[in-house]
Structure formats: C-alpha cells, structure tokens
Amino acid sequence: MHLLAVTQSVIDEQRCGAMSLCRWSSMDWQCDLYVYEAGDGWNVFVAECRPLFNGPLPPPVHPENFDHFEDYMAAILDRDRQVCQMLDQAQMLKIGGPYDGCQWTGLSAKEAYRMCVELKKAGYKFPDDVLDTLYTISRDDLAENGSDTLIEELS
C-alpha cells in the first residue's frame, strides 16, 4: 500500500506539473517541511512534530553496491518497509520551534526561498538542495522579468 501511494503521488505530480522539493518523509522522516509547487505558487508547510526512532535506522542503500537495477530497487523498497515499521513504533516529539504547524501558500519562488531561509535559521530540518533549487528558480524568474539585481532581490 505504501509503495502504491508513493507511486500514485509521483504520477500525480508528473501529470499536474507540480514539483515537490521535500516532504515530511524526506531524510528518513526527519524533514520538518513539505515544500511544493502548485497551480497558485509555492506552498510551505511546517510539521508540528518529528519521530524519535527507537533504534538506529537501517543503513542507506547505494546503487554502486548492486549489479542489477531490479536488485537495487528491491533493496530500496525493503529498507523503506523497515523504516516505515520503525516509524509506526516511533515516539512523536514536538519540534518546539516558532513556526511549528505553520503554512504559507501561493508564494512566489522568491518568497518561498526567503521563508525557507528563515526556517533554516530557526532550526528546522530539510534538505539543503531545497534552498539551492528555490534560489535558482527565483534567479531565473527574476532574469525573465528583466531584473539586474538578482542578488539584491534575493537577499
């Protein structure tokens, strides 16, 4: 069921043109943000809590350790099942940050970038490439609009 939900989510994103930069499930459920693009702009949702696992997570799966793609994918799915089982047993702890449970919708890429910078400063966890991607999209958007002050606009 979990794989089906993930697969359907990817299909829906491709069909709608939406792009998710991170989800709560990112980083083995240690990501505090859900950041995605929708028809009205960028949306940023902050979790209220994060899981405290009862033990160490299974080691990551690396493609270079497999000769066949099918074996690699099977290992990824097996690890995902293990992590999901651990998630079911995990204690959910309040994050305790100033933006817990907050959400912003319909943002421009520049606004989403600025919000994510603020969230990073406040200690929320999410992949670093979220900022890189939003910055690049913002820079491209500003360039399309004829702005010569890209760095100033994003600062």
| pLDDT on residue 12 | 43
| pLDDT on residue 147 | 54
Query: Is residue 146's pLDDT more than 60?
Result: no
Task: Answer yes or no: pTM beyond 0.85.
Answer: no
Q: Is there a contact between 73 and 16 (Cβ–Cβ < 8 Å)?
A: no
| pLDDT on residue 6 | 39
Q: pLDDT tens, 83-94? A: 999 999 999 999
Whole-number Å distance between alpha carbons of 33 and 130 = 10
What is the H or E stretch that residue 139 is in?
helix 129-144
